């Protein structure tokens, strides 16, 4: 069975902005050990929008790694996210990451573990330090 991690928006920003030694270690260990890094496309789009010109090339390197996989926000995935968000206050990118993590059974890497509480979903969270 192939293992992996789901990186949410906050994890992408932490890596691209060079704010977390743990994020660096996680990414480069994943490359060395062939661990898949799954990134929801909704988080990738928001990261591109929020990062400054110095950090965007770092994100581009991350997205181009051989272990990097983007989870597209197609019709089926949109339905799953919508079902998770129904009746709740929550962000699309947070729900997208939660659906990816739950579906694959992989830990979700984030600097904002509290953001997932509103979804009331049992997830394995790996907080970035």
Which domains occur in the chain, in start order? Answer: 4-127 (3.40.50.1010)
Residues 108/111/114/116 CA torsion (nearest 10 deg): -30
pLDDT value at position 1? Answer: 54
Low-confidence ranges of the chain (pLDDT < 70): 1
pLDDT value at position 48? Answer: 98
**Is 107 in contact with 126 (CB distance < 8 Å)?**
yes
pLDDT value at position 121? Answer: 85
């Amino acid at each position: 069975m192939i293992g992996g991690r789901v990186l949410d928006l906050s994890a992408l920003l932490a890596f691209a902005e060079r704010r977390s030694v743990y994020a660096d270690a996680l990414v480069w260990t994943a490359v060395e050990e062939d661990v898949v890094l799954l990134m929801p496309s909704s988080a990738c789009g928001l990261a591109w929008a929020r990062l400054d010109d110095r950090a965007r090339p770092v994100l581009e390197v991350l997205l181009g790694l051989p272990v990097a996989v983007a989870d597209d926000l197609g019709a089926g995935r949109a339905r799953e996210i919508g079902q998770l968000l129904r009746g709740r206050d929550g962000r699309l990118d947070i729900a997208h990451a939660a659906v990816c993590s739950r579906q694959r059974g992989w830990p979700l890497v984030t600097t904002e573990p509290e953001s997932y509480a509103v979804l009331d979903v049992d997830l394995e969270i790996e907080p970035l330090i």
